[in-house]
Amino acid sequence: GAVVSQHPSRVICKSGTSVKIECRSLDFQATTMFWYRQFPKQSLMLMATSNEGSKATYEQGVEKDKFLINHASLTLSTLTVTSAHPEDSSFYICSARDQGQGAASPLHFGNGTRLTVT
């Protein structure tokens, strides 16, 4: 089955530093990838839609200069949390759809990245 690999699974960083999270589709090509954030005991919240070769589309309230998204190839999207602060500590999850399948096909999710900012 389709696999989405997300790396790292856990990261601890100091306040003010930047952290990059990678999301790769291992056995399929993904024109579009999605980035979510999940706080404890809450549901997933869509942060942005990442399109290969173009600028990402951010949801309302998500700062594009703080959460930099790059989707340079059909198999890789990255999310960089810049100048991280403790309130950015969260579980970040990416997902992708196989472009070779129909619009109704499921999304495939990475296993998430637990970010802790100290």
Partner 1 sequence: DAKTTQPNSMESNEEEPVHLPCNHSTISGTDYIHWYRQLPSQGPEYVIHGLTSNVNNRMASLAIAEDRKSSTLILHRATLRDAAVYYCILRDNSNSGYALNFGKGTSLLVTP
For the bound state, the minimum distance from the C-beta of residue 71 to partner 1, rounded and expressed in Å, comes to 13
Q: Locate tokens 């990261």: which residue?
A: 11
For the bound state, the minimum distance from the C-beta of residue 116 to partner 1, rounded and expressed in Å, comes to 13
| Nearest to partner 1 of 15, 99 (CB atom) | 99
For the bound state, the minimum distance from the C-beta of residue 69 to partner 1, rounded and expressed in Å, comes to 13
One DSSP character per residue, 61-86 reads T--TTTEEEEEEETTEEEEEE-S--G
The residues binding partner 1 (CB under 8 A) are 4, 6, 32, 34, 36, 43-46, 49, 51, 91, 93, 95, 97, 102-104, 106-112, 114
Q: Which residues contact 26 (CB under 8 A, 6 or more apart)?
A: 2, 3, 4, 5, 75
